[in-house]
A = this chain, B = another copy of it.
């Protein structure tokens, strides 16, 4: 039986999928440029439609020139805990792709493809003993202008990357929620033959 993090898999998957989760209690330690690039390297090898690789990762490391600017682009709730992350990332995707002989055409799957890259980033972080916590609670409008997102790119999500520490690092109101989340059973998400 595959178990980790008080989670049990109903089928024999690699345990890294259970070990990866999204804590908020981060220690605030520094992350090296090399460690961060290793996470982006995993994302780099994700599959995408026509191998267009629509994902882009904008990042700031803690105690670096861009840190305060990035932290200010999270909503107040996420700022309250992500301020002790080691890196902040915004994932952006290209809405068009270049196809030989057709030029730039709309991409149907740029968000979906960027999600696969994000999943690999998070998994590589877990392999390295780090955690990557995805965030939808970010200031989308401000991000487009502050980070000069080009026209034709979509801001997909934010990510806080850190080393997990004790719950007591968190504001008290967040401590009870600091636990790996469960999932729907496989039979609810995988259906043979159609709906």
Contacts and interface: CB of A to CB of B under 8 A. Distances in A.
A189 B115 contact: no
Nearest to A132: B47
A56 interface: yes
User: Chain A interface residue count: which class?
Assistant: 35 or more
A192 interface: yes
A53 B146 CA distance: 31
Interface stretch (A3-11, A78-86, A160-168): A3-11
A157 to B, nearest CB: 6
Interface of A is mostly: mixed
Contact of A44 (B45, B49, B189): B189
Contacts of A9: 41, 45
Given A191-B58, A195-B150, A45 B17 contact: yes
Contacts of A170: none
Please state the number of chain copies in the assembly.
2
A7 B49 CA distance: 19
A189 to B, nearest CB: 6
Interface string A108-127: 11011111111110111001
B112 A190 contact: no
A38 interface: yes
15 contacts: A10-B37, A11-B40, A14-B124, A18-B45, A36-B190, A44-B186, A47-B119, A56-B191, A58-B192, A58-B193, A59-B193, A113-B115, A118-B119, A123-B123, A148-B195
Interface of A: 7, 9-14, 17-18, 20-22, 34, 36-38, 40-47, 49-51, 53, 55-61, 64-66, 69, 91, 108-109, 111-120, 122-124, 127, 134, 136, 146-150, 156-157, 181, 183-184, 186, 189-195
